[in-house]
Structure 1
Amino acid sequence: MAYQDVLTPLRDQNPLVHCITNYVAMNVAANVVLAAGASPAMVHAPEEIADFTPVCTAVTINIGTLSTSWVASMMAAAQLANDNKIPWVFDPVAHFVSGYRKAVAQDLLALRPTIIRGNASEILALAGESGAGKGADSGDAVEAAEGAAQNLAEKYGAVIAVTGPTDFVTDGSQSARVHGGSPIMPKVTALGCAQTALMGAYAAAGPAYDAAVGALSHFKVAGSQAASKAQGPGSFQMHFLDALATTQPADLAGAVT
């Protein structure tokens, strides 16, 4: 399956994506997943995980706003995803800013995510290298994290997606760069977190590497289309959701080298 072809089964199957994400991202992520053609569920109570996670077709875990109960849910959902052969995507948001956050990220990493999506600073730090991240914002170029991504992919058997102006994806044996998007996108809060949720939807519909490349391509193409109509970050959000919904598989083909 080519990466652009994953969008067709995604829309045909309308996969249920279990999104454990942060307070800032919930609404944006849910709208993005819906617009693309999948079904989001923002379930995070520990009491529900055992019943809910096994009936989903993908899980996404974003550590943007941590708390003790949410960490318990994240660990349980990741383990259940593994037990039930459900793909799961890990977004290690700013995992280097505190000892608590770093420990949680390492515990989740040990459960071997299907896909890891992060900015360059997050990927560098996850691989044990130094970076220049500032909170959730990257201070490093994507190119600087390509070696770290390769190492993580080989060590954990995961697909690594490093996002930025040009995204980089690798599974350790193959790699791709995804072009497009708009400089407006970083000015809209939680779009990166929403991309993780969309990647979960793609992972439910196709192989992990193709899913990561397809989700990133969908974002880039929709971002470029939205920017051509938007007057700023506010109107960009509206046009971006519309573009996610109208983008077709053939539109994705030109985004990747």
Structure 2
Amino acid sequence: MTSAPVLPPDPTTAPPALPRDPETSGTLALADAAGEALLQLRASTPLVQCLTNEVTTNLVANALLAVGASPAMAAVPGEAEELAGVAGALLVNLGTPGPDQRACVEPTVAVAVGARTPWVLDPVAVGVLSVRTRLAARLLTERPAVVRGNASEVRALAGAASAGRGVDARDGVDAARAAAAGLAARYGTVVAVSGPVDLVTDGTHEVRLAVGHRFLTLVTGAGCALGGVVAAFSAVAEPLVAAVGASTLLGLAAERAAEHAAGPASFQVALVDHLHAVTSDDLAARVLAGATVDVVGVPA
């Protein structure tokens, strides 16, 4: 926490658009940008302030350390806001919104917005549980850089009836496609929908990511860790690149970890190891192999 803060991308300056050839140059540009983002992340060690699920704090912090960021897990009113003003990025995960976290969230997001600190919303179990659903609806108006959730959570954020069961999705990724694009367009955000094939959209570009391993669904906190890694990437890259780079990095690390794991417990340990071991060239190559990019209109 003694490293200098990393200045976030300037939201008033439009990032360069991806090339409009979805099958070749668009994917190549995205792969190169993701690899470069990982290099910048590890060179700058951005401070990532996390208001996150207390059940998964340890895995989130270790994942951030493994990819090259510096985690701060402060959820104390007053301190949380101070950190948001100097951090490279902020993660807001609604997994266990106890009294202290609820008291922190909105003031901390307000400070982050004022300081132009990019922030990531992980709407855990939104649509199923009422307190966090109302909180998430208010937070959306502060325009997070990235919203990362499963299909049921994303559909619920867009106002659809939830088919989730706690943190588990009952909807497929394609069922959330219109909701994700609509949220992205309405709030000027990027929406990342996790599933067997991830979907990432800014309302114009739609990226499919075929990467990951089923063991990710058997480890408590894998999605929370992904939210933290998205935040770390957001400190050094524009939101679409951040979401794609983080999702691919976690998925690639999972694929490699599963090769040697006896089951979910050893997989979790190996996952952190491989998050640390993946290189920028590895990441760029996996984006190129696993991503498809389309340029689409916002679904009606």
TM range (shorter): over 0.9
Matched, 1:213 2:248: no
Matched, 1:184 2:219: no
Where does the alignment leave 5 or more consecutive residues of structure 2 unmatched?
Answer: 1-31, 293-300
Residue 258 of structure 2 is matched in structure 1 by 227
Provide the alpha-carbon RMSD of the alignment. 1.1
Residues 68-87 of structure 1 aligned to structure 2 (within 5 Å) = 68-87=99-118
Per-residue CA deviation, residues 160-204 of structure 1 (Å, 9 max, x unaligned), is 000011110001111111112111111000110110011000000
Alignment partners' CA distance in 1, 2:84 and 2:59: 21
Residue 251 of structure 1 is matched in structure 2 by 282
Residue 128 of structure 1 is matched in structure 2 by 159
Q: Measure how far apart 1:111 and its partner are.
A: 1.2
Matched, 1:6 2:41: no
Residue 97 of structure 2 is matched in structure 1 by 66
* SS across alignment from 2:160: coil
Residue 19 of structure 1 is matched in structure 2 by 50
TM-score scaled by length of structure 2: 0.84
Alignment partners' CA distance in 1, 2:132 and 2:69: 30
**Mapped contact 1:161–1:212 kept (Cα < 8 A):** yes
Alignment partners' CA distance in 2, 1:122 and 1:214: 21
Where does the alignment leave 5 or more consecutive residues of structure 1 unmatched?
Answer: none
Name the count of aligned residue pairs: 257
Q: Measure how far apart 1:26 and its partner are.
A: 0.3
Q: Measure how far apart 1:75 and its partner are.
A: 0.6
**Mapped contact 1:220–1:255 kept (Cα < 8 A):** no
Alignment partners' CA distance in 2, 1:150 and 1:50: 30
Residue 185 of structure 2 is matched in structure 1 by 154
Q: Measure how far apart 1:51 and its partner are.
A: 2.1
Alignment partners' CA distance in 2, 1:37 and 1:50: 23
Q: Measure how far apart 1:3 and its partner are.
A: 2.2
**Mapped contact 2:81–2:104 kept (Cα < 8 A):** no
Alignment partners' CA distance in 1, 2:255 and 2:100: 38
Alignment partners' CA distance in 2, 1:143 and 1:150: 11
TM-score scaled by length of structure 1: 0.97
**Mapped contact 1:14–1:39 kept (Cα < 8 A):** yes
Q: Measure how far apart 1:129 and its partner are.
A: 1.4
Which has more radius of gyration? Answer: 2
Equivalent of residue 99 in structure 1, options 123, 127, 130: 130
